[in-house]
Amino acid sequence: MSRAVFSGSALAIPNHLARNQGTNADLFIGLQGAFSIDRFLVGEGLEGSPYAASSRTKANKVVLTSSVYDNAVDRAGWADMAGNDKSYNKICGPGNSYNDRINCLTAQETGMVTPSFATETLCPTTASPSSCRIDYVLADNLVRYNMVGTGGGAHSDVYRPEMGRLIWEAIKAFASPTSGKSGNH
């Protein structure tokens, strides 16, 4: 899904049919992303940074989650996967240099996020308006259970109501008509 949003349509869409006047999506939510976090960071990683520029033009807001309990994203040793706790620590840990571009948040067991998604941009005021469109959520308190009958380990948390609450809070903050942050639906 990330590649579809950030690479854009394979077909040219006439302006009169374009839904979002220049963006593909109001909101992209990457739950435990099995793609490199470096895709968003200029000058990082072996694959370049294909989402760095397009994340500003293809999605109005990006929300990513990461958890130490989701081992599915630990298996790829060639990249720092977005859903991996090591990537979250790289971006949001002490001494990071990315806080001018990425908001670091924490999910509670209930699915609520601290500080809330509705909080104004946490990035420094020196950040350009086109930056700081990414909210990176440490979801250790939320993504840690195995839903019975799914076989997905902690990756199966997407089935839980608490994850639904996190998704709904992001939608309300960034993609709903009442949020005031987006007019494209």
Say if residues 113 and 166 touch (Cβ distance below 8 Å): yes
- Tell me what pLDDT residue 54 has: 61
CA separation for the pair 113, 98 (Å, rounded): 20
Any domain includes 183: no
Range of the domain at 59: 2-120+127-174
Q: How many domains are there within the chain?
A: 1
Any domain includes 181: no
Any domain includes 67: yes
Say if residues 131 and 152 touch (Cβ distance below 8 Å): no
Say if residues 24 and 182 touch (Cβ distance below 8 Å): no
Any domain includes 184: no
Any domain includes 185: no
- Tell me what pLDDT residue 169 has: 93
Tokens (6 digits) for 158: 């997407």
Any domain includes 179: no
What is the block-wise mean pLDDT of the chain (185 residues), using blocks of 10 residues? Answer: 72 55 74 86 72 68 88 68 87 75 88 79 48 83 77 69 93 70 42
pTM: predicted TM-score of the whole model, two decimal places: 0.79
